[in-house]
Amino acid sequence: MKEQPVADTLQLSEADKEDQYVHQVYDEIATHFSDTRFKAWPVIERYLLGLPVGSIGADIGCGNGKYLGVRGSGDIFMVGTDRSKALVGICAQRGFECQVSDGLDLPYRDGAFDFAISIAVIHHFASPERRARAVAEVLRVVRPGGSVLVFAWALEQNGRRKFDPNTQDVLVPWVLPASKAQCSAGRDELAGEGESAQSKVFHRYYHLFRKGELQELFEQVGGCTVIENGYDRDNWYIIAQKI
């Protein structure tokens, strides 16, 4: 039977939940995850291709770096950060400039960039306050007049995933095939009993954003003007300009 998302009932602090059910999981599944992330989503590609020549930007939560190379001509400059050491290692192997960093404490001065993107990252922070801090950090590192693009998983998804409309905090399974599995037996107590020895199941924490919630979060953080919002690839997204 296919593994399904379950409601988050973990009795952990927000930081411990993120460590055990986000950071550690992505380090375990990095190679398999990277193999599934290779095509740029249309809204993000449009945003990056529309940036002025000479722009300098950051990809916060860059994963395997698939967006760092969208402008392959090299007429803009991008750096990436990710909390996963394994994913940063994959970025480095691909020739991208990136470093391990926490999204709540980015290693950049205020206003360092012309733009920043953060794709499918904010939903991994386990409280409203931490999600607001993460958005504030993305905005902090962009200069006034610069822009940011943020994507986060939607509660109202049209694709293969179906979520309980009354449950926004969930644990989403990732099935790691035996060919990709690493020596991590026993770490995930939520892995189903009787799971095939040919695979390993990990669970990742997500906060699913309801319609309008991401814009409300940006309005709460302030210091920016939302210039575009929409739905794409089962995510809500915001493009905002820093004031």
Query: Can you give the pLDDT at residue 188?
Result: 45
Length of the chain: 243
Q: How far apart are the first and last CA of the chain?
A: 50
Site of tokens 């940011």: 148
Residue 102: CB partners within 8 Å, gap ≥ 6?
83
pTM over 0.75: yes
pLDDT (tens digit per residue) in 9-43: 999 999 999 999 999 999 999 888 788 877 889 99
Give the torsion sign (CA, 45, 46, 52, 53): positive
pLDDT in tens, the chain (243 residues): 567 889 999 999 999 999 999 999 999 998 887 888 778 899 999 999 999 999 999 999 999 999 999 987 789 999 999 999 999 999 999 999 999 999 999 999 999 999 999 999 999 999 999 999 999 999 999 999 999 999 999 999 887 777 899 999 999 999 888 766 644 444 444 444 444 457 899 999 999 999 999 999 999 999 999 999 999 999 999 999 999
pLDDT (tens digit per residue) in 114-141: 999 999 999 999 999 999 999 999 999 9
Q: Quick one: tokens of 59?
A: 């990809």
- Of 154, 132, 160, which Cα lies nearest the Cα of 206? 154
- For 69, other C-beta atoms within 10 Å of its C-beta total 15
Q: Using DSSP, state whether 35 is helix, strand or coil.
A: helix
Alpha-carbon span 25 to 34, nearest angstrom: 13
